[in-house]
Every structure is written in structure tokens, then in C-alpha cells.
Amino acid sequence: MNAAIEVENLTKTYRVPIRRPGLKGAIKHLFARQYRNVVALDRISFTVQQGAAVGYLGPNGAGKTTTLKVLSGLLHPDEGRIRVLGFDPWRHEEAFKKRIGFVMGQKGQLWWDLPAHDSFELLREMYEIPSRRFLSTLQELVERFSVKDLLYVPVRNLSLGERMKMELIAILLHEPQVLFLDEPTIGLDVMAQHEIRLLLKDYQKRHGATLLLASHYMRDVEDLCDRILLIHQGNILFDGSIDEIKKHYVPFKKVSFTLSRPVESEEVFSQWGEVQEYSGSQVTLTVAEHKVTQIMQLIVTRFPVVGVSVQDPSLEEVIRVAFSTFDNGQGGRDGVA
């Protein structure tokens, strides 16, 4: 299987002007600008196979958007070798642009005063999509997104959710093989977010598209991606599947037991794990991941357990641990819940 995206030693530094306050500062700024260098990306390397969906997670300013922009050709890296579908994005070849799509959360491209259909027409011309192909793709997308009756309504009259769907259709019209997504569900209500995720997943499955998603909504990543890249201060902290990342940083699970008869003391349980919750007939323990089965068996045999549930740490929690570990200077091996 071919690699859809190849990144080697990608480095990007921004020169940010330093402004000093006051009138003197303003004048100085006019004549002798001072800059400081912000390293947005520091020799990043990774590969994404065709058809994969990778999530890019990190706090603001970590370099997520920068990476997406470099990969799509909007930004020029200072160093590094990039290949997307075999193309060098910075060469801006038309063939390259016709194969990629970029979903930008807050920035729309549809003409405000015209119906979405007119913007789609323009896109068809720009991407040189053959008529018949265009019509069938449009039909399919419009049906799946259930916006058929809204095609001829001026975009300004659509609700936020409807508009987002139209924007998404606009990007998928030319059937891109690689999709870059930058905060695609930001600003949407929970229902709309869910819908967008489903639609993206659906598109990816049916077209075998490669997804690279940057978001700080965990649900976006959980629903859409199989693999995560954790990026922090320009470096990749971790590259692996969701399960792997959980095991690596938070190798614990929350196990909850429901008892038919309350048990008096909680100290009894603390030998098997950290007690998170204790209310007589409900106990929740944090247990080391590899010991879960064993401890479950122990407790079930000793106590009148009527219900058990095992919960993974939330991705959010894991990420938080990962970053705080990094910030605390540790390599990140022994994260504690």
C-alpha cells in the first residue's frame, strides 16, 4: 500500500515582531524592528498510508494548523521533505490541487448572497469536473447530507449547521483523495457535530480517502481516526493508535462494581487499586490496566457483586496527562491518572 502522506524533518519557524509599548516603542518599531523566532514545527516526521484517518492533537499554537497548511501547499516549510500523493505541495501543481480538499472550521468559501448551487457550479468549472460526474456526485452528496431542498436557497438564509454541510459538500465535490481538516466541527451544536462526523466517516469509507484531522474536540478524533499524532510545542510526542496512546499514558482503567449489599469499609478495596468513589453499594476503583481481569475476578469472588463495568480513561484525560507529563520534563512513561 502506498503512502499518501510522507513527512520528513518538517521544520517551520515564524518570525514574530516584538512590539514595545508607548510612543517611543511605536517609533522604534517603525525603524528598527526586533523579532523573535517561534519554532512552530521542529523536525517532524511521519507517514500516513492511503485510506487511513489520522488525528492530530495538541494545544493551541502547537503547530497543528501549520502542518496542515504545509501539507496542502499554503505554507512553505523552512526545512523538510514533504510528499502528498507523490506531489511536492509547494509546487502547486493543478493535478495536486485537484486531489486534495481542505476543510477549515470557521472559514467558509460559499458566496453569501447566492444559493449554494451557484457556488458549486463555479467549483465545477474550477476543478474541471465533467458534467455527468459532477451531477452524480452532487446528487449523492446532497442526498446523504439531506440538504436537497436547500440547494437553491441563498446561503445567508441557511442555519449554521446547514451551511456547514454545504461547505463540506463544496469540498467533496471533486472527490479529493486526501482530506485535510482543521477544526471541522468548531462552533456547531452537538447534534450538528455528530452529523458532520458521520458524513465525514461515510465519505472516507466509500472513497477510501486519507484523512488528516486537526482538532481539539476529542470526539472528532475518537469517531473519525484510528491513529493519533500528539503534537506539543512543535514536536511529536506520540504516534500510535488510540488504544496505544491510552495504554502508554494512562495505563489504568476505571472499574465500577455494584454490590447487592453495602460493604462497610473502603480500605478493604484500596489494596487492589485507588478508590475513586465509594458509596456503600457502589465502588469505583482505578486499576492498573494489565491487572484488570485479575482484580475483577478477586473482587467478584469475595463480594456480592451484581454489576461490573469497565471504563477506559477518556481521551481527554489521556491527552491532559500526556501534555502535563511533557511539560514536567518527563519522557512520559509513567503517567499517573
| The one-letter amino acid at 31 | F
Q: Report in angstroms how near the CB of residue 67 gets to other proteins at its nearest.
A: 10
- H or E element in which residue 248 lies: helix 242-249
Burial class (CB in 10 A: 0-12, 13-18, 19+), 130: exposed
* Residue placing its CB nearer to other proteins in the complex, 122 or 263: 122
* Residue placing its CB nearer to other proteins in the complex, 182 or 223: 182
Q: Report in angstroms how near the CB of residue 112 gets to other proteins at its nearest.
A: 9
* Residue placing its CB nearer to other proteins in the complex, 48 or 171: 171
For residue 297, give Cα distances in angstroms to 275, 284, 290. 17, 15, 13
* Residue placing its CB nearer to other proteins in the complex, 52 or 103: 103
Q: Report in angstroms how near the CB of residue 240 gets to other proteins at its nearest.
A: 25
Q: Dihedral sign, CA of 258, 264, 270, 276?
A: positive
Could you identify the residue written with the cell 491487572? Answer: 291
Q: Report in angstroms how near the CB of residue 21 gets to other proteins at its nearest.
A: 11
Q: Report in angstroms how near the CB of residue 11 gets to other proteins at its nearest.
A: 14
End-to-end CA, the chain: 38
Number of CB atoms found within 10 A of residue 337's CB: 17
- H or E element in which residue 4 lies: strand 3-18
Measure the CA–CA gap between 115 and 152, rounded to whole angstroms.
Answer: 5
For residue 134, give Cα distances in angstroms to 18, 121, 122, 129, 146. 49, 9, 12, 6, 18
* Residue placing its CB nearer to other proteins in the complex, 13 or 50: 13
Give the binding site for other proteins (CB under 8 A): 14, 23, 26, 30, 40, 61, 63, 65-66, 69, 72-76, 94-95, 97-98, 100, 102, 104, 107, 109, 111, 113-114, 118, 121-122, 125-128, 154
* Residue placing its CB nearer to other proteins in the complex, 76 or 148: 76
Q: Report in angstroms how near the CB of residue 130 gets to other proteins at its nearest.
A: 13
Measure the CA–CA gap between 190 and 21, rounded to whole angstroms.
Answer: 42
Q: Report in angstroms how near the CB of residue 156 gets to other proteins at its nearest.
A: 9
* Residue placing its CB nearer to other proteins in the complex, 115 or 332: 115
